[in-house]
Amino acid sequence: MKKKLIAAMAVTMAMSLIVCTSCKKPPRSNPNVSVGEDYFPEMTFTIRDIDGKAIDESVFSLHKLTMINFWEPWCGPCLSEMPDIQKLYQDYEDMGFYVIGVYSSTEMKSDVKKIMENVGITYPIATYSDSFDRFQTGYVPTTIFVDEHGWVLPLMASSDQEKLFTGARSYEDWAALIETYLLYEEPTEATV
């Protein structure tokens, strides 16, 4: 039993180091993209929030970092992390952080509204668009982060599957990652 516990702790520590090292300096996918007429985000979409307001890819240009959290009203882990995501939204909003929650079907709208009221969600919750299909894993919650240029931030490499966070996280885990992304500065030509 003791050997199994030690082995489990070693694996957990190794995974933590791998995740931490890969997140220290996340590369921007395309730091040369400027916002405005030449704004070409990695994905385009139009979704509607719970009140019918349209949200599209231009939202990325208004925030330094946007978290898109795919969740479902029937998903226990999704619901358990929602209060933490709401707190993150409030705590990091002044630093340019934004959250969009996305669920799959308008048929669940009344359930979603109840959850938003019970949890106190103030970030937009919207209905799914097939523009997000490439980010689906078959599991919820799944989360991606998008920079102000509209580029999905990689975790370790460039494939879409390596840009996804599958599963719920604690406030502390999300906060560490958000701070890493928000505080990361692109190297200037002088430092390269």
pTM for the whole thing?
0.75
pLDDT at 167: 92
Question: Tokens 């209060």 correspond to what residue?
Answer: 83
pLDDT at 2: 46
**Average pLDDT per consecutive 10 residues, the chain (192 residues; last block may be shorter):** 44 38 37 47 90 95 96 96 98 97 92 96 96 89 93 62 82 93 68 52
Structural domain boundaries of the chain?
39-183
Superfamily of domain 39-183: Glutaredoxin (3.40.30.10)
pLDDT at 22: 36
pLDDT at 119: 96
Query: What pairing do the DSSP bridges indicate for beta strands 142-147 and 65-70?
Result: antiparallel
